[in-house]
Amino acid sequence: MPRVIDYSDDTSCSLGDCIEALEANGFEPREKESLLHAAAWLRKLGNNRDFLADMLVDELKQGVKAAEEASDYGPQVIMLSGLGGDYYMRANFWPSVDEHMFRASGTAAFSYELPHDHNFDFLTLGYFGPGYSSDYYEYDYDKVLGAIGEKAGLRFIERATLSPGKLMHYRAHLDVHSQLPPESLSISINIMHASGAQGWLDQYRFDVEKDEISGVISPGGSEIFLRVAVGLGGEEARDLAHHFAGSHPSHRMRLTALEAQAGVLGLAERDELWRRAEGSGSRLVAIEATRKRRELELV
């Protein structure tokens, strides 16, 4: 499960001080000194009980545009720092089942009861409220291909709560959790690691009952662009998809290119495409191609 970082410090800092410290030293979670440095500043920021409320009031005073910019990451997120570096900061709001926003939107809008891993490391701190609970698992990312229905090898660890003041390190491609709504509205503060390679690393959702990978939840911008371009019918886009399907270094992108092509083909042509893909030399593509052909048999 995520590592609990037992770091005691009663001092507090402003958001600006925290960002300045991270800008000066960066955030590289694979390096212990860098990880603990960031954790120390997150602890200090968490001790500041006023900064987030003050920030929200300031945003509200500035009007709708400022509020939209502050929540560009998603409806339950307030961005605390800019994007583009090796980290960014955010505050996450976790509604309880009694909140109107939960009743109106349901569990999926807040990723509740969605077992998943992450393709990045991050630090999280329980800042307000009782905190959400999670069922925690671990698995070996390097031992799976990422095919739908593939055995994941999940190992259940425990159910635990991100209680107030609790500081945790979620490890990329190792920690899996299924979050549960808190007893009342809660807020966590995160320092998220970002890297150029992140877009090529899969993030999965899991079926814990079957111990299987049930989907990929980290499609990159290039994948989406390719699907749209091929769907719009351009010859150049189709040629590019054909090229990517045969030679792209990312097996996930090869699969995406095949799916994009299949989306504009008839049933017989689609079956032939996946039949050829079964012999592509990529295990991920071959497994998915066989699954796709079985689905076509049911159409």
Domain extents in the chain: 3-216, 221-297
Listed residue (197, 203, 196) closest to 218, CA to CA: 203
The per-residue pLDDT for 61 is 77
The per-residue pLDDT for 75 is 63
Judged on CB neighbours under 10 Å (0-12, 13-18, 19+), 38 is buried
The per-residue pLDDT for 149 is 96
Q: Answer whether 216's CB lies under 8 Å from 150's CB.
A: no
Judged on CB neighbours under 10 Å (0-12, 13-18, 19+), 148 is middle
Return the bridge partners of 3, or none: 169
3-216 architecture in CATH?
Sandwich (2.60)
The per-residue pLDDT for 284 is 94
Could you say which residues of the chain have pLDDT below 50? 70-73
| 111 HSE (CA, 13 A, CB side) | 22
